[in-house]
A and B are shown apart, each in its own frame.
Chain A
Amino acid sequence: MAEHYTSFERGGRRWLAQRLTAVFLIGVLAFHFVLLHFVNHAAEIELAGTTARMSQVSYFATMWLFLVAATFHGVNGVYNALVNMGLSGTRARVVGGVLAVAGLGLIAQGTRVALAMTNLV
């Protein structure tokens, strides 16, 4: 069996960031699922309750960091999966650029949504 299957350059910053975001996401994704599917059932969620949660500084900060970490982890993971499938050269740079724009757009829209859900600002 191979030692590892990865297109990441070991020791690189993106390799490290992928793992650091993974550690953060393990806890926050589990927390998100438990809170919004088991503690508060998804079918009963309304904007008033969402706003109450998002108006707590710690919850708002956690969810915004969740958005940023998940976007980086997902987009970086997709890029590396594509590199693993043979993407290289100019095509890799173009795809990387498109994914970066999509990721930044998602963070921007997610931030707008988060601000619409809170009474903090």
Chain B
Amino acid sequence: MSQTYKRGTIEDFGRWREFTAGMWAWIFHKFTGWVLVGYLFTHIAVLSTAMQGASLYNSTLGGLEALLVVRFLEVGLLAVAVFHILNGIRLLMVDLGYGLGVQDRTFYVSLIVTGAITVASVPTFVGGAL
């Protein structure tokens, strides 16, 4: 059964120093979720060029990939997606009752693994554009 908690307004970032690991996990999950859903709409818009034929589709994707800033945005997208996936697994585990006593540590592990995967992926994403 759901319970409600008096936790103040989390959006009041003026008190960010008081935020616990759980609060940061909540904020990062929301932020990465907003980014991903925004990207989903953008992604379908770009892929819609396929409806106008191969020439436009190939030139649009090729043109975007030729921009270094797009390559770095893709690295950012990867970081956002990896964190959302890892923290999502953590949330599912918590929902199932696993790891309730180590929620802080699993959040930190999510951050570290996200950072490691992101850094390791930079050469693949940026390759050819530099």
Contacts and interface: CB of A to CB of B under 8 A. Distances in A.
Interface of A: 1-6, 9-11, 19, 22-23, 25-26, 29-30, 33, 37-38, 41-43, 45-48, 50, 67, 70-71, 74-75, 77-78, 81, 85, 102, 106, 109-110, 112-113, 116-117
A1 B54 CA distance: 54
Given A10-B1, A78-B37, A110 B44 contact: yes
Q: Is the interface of B mostly helix, strand, loop or mixed?
A: helix
A74 B37 contact: yes
A74 B26 contact: no
A107 B51 CA distance: 15
B65 A43 contact: yes
Contacts of B41: 102, 106
A29 B36 CA distance: 11
A74 B47 contact: no
A53 B88 CA distance: 28
B36 A22 contact: no
Interface of B: 1-3, 5, 7, 10-11, 20, 22, 26, 30, 33-34, 36-37, 40-41, 44, 47-48, 50-51, 53-54, 57-58, 61-62, 65-66, 74, 78, 81, 85, 88-89, 91-92, 94-95, 103, 121, 124-125, 127-129
Contacts of B26: 5
Contact of B33 (A2, A45, A74, A117): A74
Given A10-B2, A74-B40, A112 B51 contact: yes
Contacts of A102: 41
Contact of A5 (B1, B7, B61, B74): B7
Most buried by A among B1, B47, B128: B47
B37 A75 contact: yes
A5 B65 CA distance: 39
Given A43-B62, A43-B128, 16 more contacts: A1-B103, A5-B10, A11-B1, A22-B91, A29-B81, A30-B85, A37-B124, A45-B61, A47-B58, A71-B40, A77-B33, A77-B37, A81-B33, A102-B41, A110-B47, A113-B47
A26 B85 contact: yes
Given A10-B1, A19-B92, A75-B37, A113 B50 contact: yes
B119 to A, nearest CB: 15
A100 to B, nearest CB: 14
